[in-house]
Structures are given as structure tokens and as C-alpha cells.
A = this chain, B = another copy of it.
Amino acid sequence: MTRRNTPPNLAAVGRFAYDGLERVIHEKARLGILTSLVTHREGLVFSDLKDLCSLTDGNLSRHLQVLSEAGLVEVIKGYDRNRPQTICRLTDDGRRRFLEYINVLERVIADALTTAKDLPAADATEGLSPA
């Protein structure tokens, strides 16, 4: 309880805010859906996507609606041998925004793993400068 209440220097303000983590993408289930879709470029059938992400029909539908309204995903209803079939696919804008999100996620990991080197306590305040 002996540390002074020193303001972070200007460079450190907002250092860990991660504004680029777009909330519509960051939600856990949607992150799984988007990762599935980014690795299956031609799209995925609804039921396959559901299995890959371990979601229920209702949950997947709800998340696809959010992603579709945000312009990230397109949901195409059609037929396969006279049976109705729904294909889900990333839009071009969705692919771009998802990869931007992944870039920020890489920065989070790089930041977090500086600790893996077991910083001595003296170095752990590097973001802060004396008043």
C-alpha cells in the first residue's frame, strides 16, 4: 500500500482499451461462427455450422440474424434435391472486418504474454511514469 497514485503517461492512456474488438464479432458464440465461416470460404450448410459450433437451432438462428444485420454474413435459402437448404457465408466486408478483429486479438495476446516472461515487479509498472 505504498505506491503513489501516479497518472499513466499519455502513451499509456487507453493502452488496454482495445477499441478494435468489434462487439458484434467478439461475442463468444459469434466468434466461433465467424471462425467456422472464414475457414470455409464457399459457405456452410446451417446444420453443419450448428454442429461445428455446438449450438442449438434457435441460438444459431439468433446469432446469424445479428451477424446478417451487421453486414458480416449472408444467409442464402435454397433447395438441394428438392429439400430446403440454408447456406451461411461471410460477406467480403465481413471477411475484412473479421480479419481486422483478429489483428487486435493478436495484440491482446502479445500484451498478455509479456507476463509469461515473469517480469520483475520493477518492470511491471512500465506503462506508468512518476507524477
What is the total number of copies of this protein in its complex?
2
Return chain B residues, CB-CB under 8 Å to A105. Answer: 105, 108-109
Residues of A within 8 A of B (CB): 1-8, 12-19, 21, 23, 26, 28, 31-36, 38-43, 45, 47-48, 51-55, 76, 78-81, 83, 85, 87, 95, 98-99, 102, 105-106, 108-109, 111-116, 119, 121, 124-125, 127-128
Instruction: Contact check, B32 vs A16: say whether CB atoms are below 8 A apart.
Output: yes
Q: How far is the CB of A76 from chain B (nearest CB, A)?
A: 7
Return chain B residues, CB-CB under 8 Å to A6. Answer: 45, 48
Q: How far is the CB of A98 from chain B (nearest CB, A)?
A: 7
Instruction: Contact check, A39 vs B8: say whether CB atoms are below 8 A apart.
Output: no
